[in-house]
Amino acid sequence: MKKIAFTLCATFIALSTMAQGTLQERMQGNPKIDSLVSVVQALGGSAQVSYDYHGRLHKTVHITCRLMNDFQPTPPTGDPKKDAQNLKIDSIRKEQNERTNGIYNAVRNTCKSITDDATESYTWEYHRGGVDSVRYTIALGEYESGDTLKTWQRQREVLYDGAPEIITFRYDPMAGNNENPWIPKGLGFFSYEYTPDSVGRQMKELVPFNKAAYTSLLQPILKQQGIATRQFNVYCDTTYTFKEVKWNDNDDFVIHQKTLTPLQPKSETKGTVYTMHSRALADSVLSQLIQTTWAFLEDNPGICFRFMPHTTYGLRTMSELFENLDYRRALGFYHIYLHCIDDQEFNIVVVEGTGDMIVPMEWLILKSWKNGKVVYDKKRMKALTPKQARNSTSGHRFTQTRQYEPID
């Protein structure tokens, strides 16, 4: 009898787990948001999708959109050569307007359609003389524990908290827009937050990140034919002083993340760079990394992570793919980044170490960095100069400062 009872109990647990679905299914959220992400990406926009866990599953989607001035073709000049050039520019500008306005309309229409299903929602729109302001705040669903929805309002701004799904969209006109055809007349910011569980695990119940198990799954993918590997090392201790960076300055580092207190007397960062020169290979490797990461997270419940399954590599910047979020082990870190140069070189960068995480701007050609003293990778320098390396990793920076010097 006990054996039968045990069997029935085990079967019930198994069925309950199956009913919950896979981790990816449990973190999917609203299918209308997934459709919006697909539309935005198809129109050439950027939709940042992030999954994380630190006691509770959490999904976020962030989209920035623009609304352009109405398209007006350039008047004829009478000069055939200039008119042909203007016609080409107008064609580019018209397509850009259609794409950017299409993203704005997709975001706004999605908010309108979801409002019908809302537990509670707030909408405010102002349109006058070509000037638009839009506010959407939407709460969807409720937790099993009952009414947990909280509302804050200040003038035209409303915020919700305590619901499984929360959507906000804020659009405002740009001040001083003079109907320049290349400058947007307004900017919009869309956010989607999905937290399916109202109560999460306590800190003591969380599981340590098993780096050895995860990296063992990644290595067969990253050692495929056509992938070159190199490393750079960074060391910093209290003898080195970081300069103070003001809001309009640019640092010498792509990444400088300080540890939680207490601050450590020394920091060590190791970067392993996997480089490909084939778009087909790079896309295949990225797809394999994403599938493998989902499988690892499924098989290792309870670890703290942030996962951003990008569909493309970061151009002139490092886009994060995976991060270990085990804050109890603040001295150690493990990240995976994506990077590309002009659709010709694709890099997967594994950054790990202890103390502060430091990645210098010139990591593309770096062999080592020790308290501001640099050793370059001579083989890599045949393809890139230090200035080109900085420009290829700095994102959208316009000035670059230096505070360290090469020793080789």
d(CA 313, CA 196): 29
pLDDT digits (tens, 9 = 90+) for 340-355: 998 899 999 999 998 8
3-state helix, strand, coil in the chain (%, to 5): 30, 35, 35
Q: Map residue 222 onto helix, strand or coil.
A: helix
In the predicted model, is pLDDT for residue 403 greater than 80? Answer: no
In the predicted model, is pLDDT for residue 148 greater than 50? Answer: yes
**pLDDT of res. 251:** 66
Instruction: Tell me which of 113 and 155 has the higher pLDDT.
Output: 113
In the predicted model, is pLDDT for residue 6 greater than 60? Answer: no
The CA–CA distances, whole Å, from 353 to 256, 267, 321 equal 13, 8, 17
In the predicted model, is pLDDT for residue 217 greater than 70? Answer: yes
**pLDDT of res. 239:** 84
Express as a percent the part of the chain with pLDDT over 70.
Answer: 86
Residue 179 DSSP label: -
In terms of C-beta density within 10 A (0-12 exposed, 13-18 middle, 19 or more buried), how is residue 2 classed? exposed
If you average pLDDT over residues 138-164, what whole number do you get? Answer: 86
Of 73-77, 90-94, 142-146, 194-198, the range with the lowest mean pLDDT is: 142-146
d(CA 236, CA 263): 12
Count, residues in the chain: 408
d(CA 383, CA 276): 14
- pLDDT-derived band at 14 (thresholds 50, 70, 90) equals very low
d(CA 398, CA 384): 19
**pLDDT of res. 174:** 85
If you average pLDDT over residues 268-289, what whole number do you get? Answer: 96
Between the two ends of the chain, the Cα-to-Cα distance in Å is 77
Most trustworthy range by pLDDT among 36-40, 51-55, 199-203, 234-238: 36-40
If you average pLDDT over residues 291-317, what whole number do you get? Answer: 90
**pLDDT of res. 3:** 39
State both tokens at 9: 């109990």
